[in-house]
Amino acid sequence: MMTLGIESSCDECSAAILHDGELLSHEIASQIPIHQKYGGVVPELASRAHILDIIEVLDLAFENAGISHRDIDNVAVTQGPGLIGSLLVGIEAAKAFAYANDKPLIGVHHTEGHLLAPLLSTDERYPAPQLPFMGLVVSGGHTNLIRVNGIGDYTHVGETLDDAAGEALDKIGKALGLSYPGGVAIDKISVGGNATAFDLPRPLKNRNNFDFSFSGLKTAALTQLRKIGELPTGELLADFCASTLEAVVDSLVSKTIRAAIAYQTPSVVVTGGVSANRRLRERFELACREADLMLSIPPLQLCTDNAAMIAQLGALKFLQRKRNENADKIYGFDAFDLAPHPSWRIV
Ligand code: KG4
Ligand code: ZN
């Protein structure tokens, strides 16, 4: 089965072609340079950039896969959650392709795509996870703990009550005058920094639930920054970044491990943009080894927003559909019905 996947929910315009579970091509046009000067994603600029990028990204995906439009069996596109203008561009491109080539189309959930991304892993260090697993989706828009019982069968375990972990890192990075996205800059600068130099809170860490909170940590970091009086540089900046990152990582690791034990899942999956983080990976590796849990983190390119995870999820849904008539709605010639769901909850 040959599936075309399209992703445009935020600031990455991406297309991928998946053949029976194997990626034939995977193209991503990043908009980081466009949003960098504003310190965050500007939705209007994001949708305009998607309009300029989408055809080129699709053409490249076909060129690099060495196949023609006719070889595609079905199409999957991110339906939500995400920025409405950005989502619309991918959805309209997918509809146009499906209509012109008379192929079935499915709209899929972006967070579900992230959650199942490690199933695409061919990395020996982080093999694809076994079901069921405890999934932590941690990105600029989400911090969710979800038990994956099976494909399409999820149990809500916990979520952030305020900011997403990546959002908090991005905002702290912006206050530090670092380049966008702040999470990536903090990751780089924190190497070699002293993670205990600044005393920052771990909100809800010892609370008897699996929810997260990062806005208190963000405020505490900004208060400490104000006390320093000027923007830190050199060693002080490295210490500040390492201390901030450690506070975020502490909350994420401790709750996820506790949840995996409480919900009896032998495997842990960490996915979403923040899972690219060096320190988060280190700490999860250590904690999973100690708790005798299997850890799976997708390769870097599959951590941040990408169409490979969307193609995979679409392919899984098409296969499920073949077995079960009640599976998600697949659009045929009525593809024009497919509308974006900007605030779609996964569970
Ligand atoms: O999954 P993603 O590409 O988009 C969303 O769906 O949000 O995640 C983007 C987020 C940003 O907040 C970015 O700062 C963060 O992931 N991020 C990182 C790293 N790489 C990306 N945070 C910490 N360390 C990184 N290496
Ligand atoms: Zn994402």
pLDDT digits (tens, 9 = 90+) for 57-104: 999 999 999 999 999 999 999 999 999 999 999 999 999 999 999 999
Is 169 a pocket residue for ligand 1 (Cβ < 6 Å)?
A: yes
Give pLDDT, residue 124.
85
Q: Is residue 249's pLDDT more than 80?
A: yes
Q: Count the residues in the chain.
A: 347
- Choose among 142, 183, 347, 167: nearest CA to 280: 183
Mean pLDDT of 218-223: 96
Q: Which of 265, 1, 323 shows the shortest CA–CA distance to 133? A: 265
- Decide: 276 in ligand 1 pocket, CB within 6 A: yes
Q: Is 86 in the pocket of ligand 1 (CB under 6 A)?
A: no
Position 133 pLDDT exceeds 80: yes
Cα separation of 191 and 48, whole Å?
36
Structure tokens at 285: 């590796």
Q: Is 121 in the pocket of ligand 1 (CB under 6 A)?
A: no
Calculate how far, in angstroms, residue 236's C-alpha sits from the geometric centre of ligand 2.
Answer: 31
The answer to whether the CB of 274 is under 6 A from ligand 1 is yes
Q: Is the CB of 41 under 6 A from ligand 1?
A: no
pLDDT at 23: 97
46 pocket-lining for ligand 1 (C-beta < 6 Å): no
Ligand 2 centroid from CA 111, angstroms:
7
Q: Confidence band (pLDDT; 50, 70, 90) for 179?
A: very high
Mean pLDDT of the chain: 94
The pair of structure tokens assigned to 73 is: 């069996």
**Of 337, 145, 333, 166, nearest to 257 (Cα)?**
145
- Residue nearest atom 1 in ligand 1 by C-alpha distance: 273
What DSSP designation does 194 have?
-
Please state the atom number of ligand 1 nearest to the C-alpha of residue 272.
Answer: 1
Q: What pLDDT is stored for residue 147 in this prediction?
A: 98
φ, ψ for residue 213, nearest 5 deg = -150, 130
Pick the residue whose CA is nearest to atom 16 on ligand 1. 273
C-alpha 48/C-alpha 242 separation (Å) is 36
Cβ atoms of residues 215 and 201 within 8 Å: no
CA atoms within 13 A on the CB side of 84: 3
Determine which residue's CA is closest to atom 13 belonging to ligand 1. Answer: 183
**Any ligand 1 atom below 6 A from CB of 113:** no
Spatial contact of 305 and 273, defined as CB atoms under 8 Å apart: yes
Separation CA 73–CA 69 (nearest Å): 9
Q: Is the pLDDT of residue 186 over 80?
A: yes
A 10 A CB-CB count for 200 gives 24
Asked if residue 294 lies in contact with residue 267, where contact means CB atoms within 8 angstroms, the answer is: yes
Q: 80 in the Ramachandran plot: left (φ > 0), alpha (ψ -120 to 50) or beta?
A: left
Among 160, 169, 274, 305, say which to mutate for ligand 1: greatest number of ligand atoms within 8 Å of CB: 274
**pLDDT higher than threshold 90 for residue 330:** no
pTM of full prediction above 0.85: yes
Q: What CA–CA distance (Å, rounded) separates 199 from 197?
A: 7
Nearest CA to ligand 1 atom 2: 273
Whether the pLDDT of residue 13 is over 90: the answer is: yes
Please give the average per-residue pLDDT across 125-145, as a whole number: 93
CA torsion, ordered 142, 148, 152, 157, to nearest 10 deg: -50
Residue 325 has pLDDT above 90, yes or no: no
Q: What is the mean pLDDT of residues 285-300?
A: 96
Place of tokens 């870097």: 300
The reported pLDDT for the residue numbered 207 is 83
The better pLDDT of the pair 271, 332 is held by: 271
Contact status, residue 309 vs residue 303, Cβ threshold 8 Å: no
Residue corresponding to tokens 């972006």? 110
Contact 203, 149 (CB under 8 A): no
Mean pLDDT of 177-203: 95
183 CB near ligand 1 (under 6 Å): yes
User: Quick check: 161 pLDDT over 90?
Assistant: yes
Answer whether 139 contacts ligand 1 (Cβ < 6 A). yes
